[in-house]
């Protein structure tokens, strides 16, 4: 995955959301549950002030905040602009997300300077992201 590519930027945004959003349910295949539990433990080590963490469940890969999808992995663009569109291979996506979350945690995210915290970078533009991803498919 090339740094600053549309894929990389989307994975970075997804990782940011995984690390800071509350009330998340992450559903992953049984073969990946241990890796995701390890990420939750790493989040606890890196963010000792945090009191709640995402819950991990077994099933087809998805990430939900309450009843809404946080990410959409379908090829067809979702209607809601609040949903991050990630039309990439789900197996590869899971691995990329785990790696990006780990890299951000090692850099000190979410409180580090210059490693992706919102105050230091432009706010995510989902509409521009969707245009970039649509252009990749053409």
Question: Using N-to-C axis directions, what is the helix angle for 90-107 and 33-46, rounded to 10°?
Answer: 20
The model's pTM is: 0.86
Q: Report how far residue 10's alpha carbon sits from residue 4's, in angstroms, rounded to the nearest whole number.
A: 9
Among the residue ranges 18-22, 41-45, 105-109, 111-115, the one predicted with the least confidence is: 111-115
Confidence of residue 121 (pLDDT cuts 50, 70, 90): low
Q: Report how far residue 71's alpha carbon sits from residue 10's, in angstroms, rounded to the nearest whole number.
A: 10
* Residue whose C-alpha is closest to residue 67's, from 25, 14, 116: 25
Q: Where do the domains of the chain lie? A: 6-137
Tens-place pLDDT, residues 17-26: 999 999 999 9
Confidence of residue 119 (pLDDT cuts 50, 70, 90): very low
Tens-place pLDDT, residues 61-70: 999 998 888 9
In angstroms, how far is CA 50 from the centroid of its own chain? 18
């Amino acid at each position: 995955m090339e740094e600053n590519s549309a894929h990389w930027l989307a994975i970075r945004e997804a990782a940011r959301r995984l690390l800071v959003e509350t009330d998340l349910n992450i559903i992953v295949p049984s073969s990946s549950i241990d890796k995701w539990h390890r990420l939750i433990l790493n989040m606890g080590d890196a963010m000792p002030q945090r009191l709640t963490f995402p819950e991990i469940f077994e099933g087809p890969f998805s990430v939900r905040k309450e009843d809404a999808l946080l990410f959409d992995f379908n090829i067809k663009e979702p209607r809601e602009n609040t949903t991050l569109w990630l039309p990439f291979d789900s197996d590869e996506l899971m691995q990329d997300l785990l790696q990006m979350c780990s890299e951000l945690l090692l850099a000190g995210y979410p409180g580090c300077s210059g490693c992706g915290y919102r105050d230091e970078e432009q706010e995510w533009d989902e509409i521009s992201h969707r245009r970039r991803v649509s252009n990749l498919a053409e």
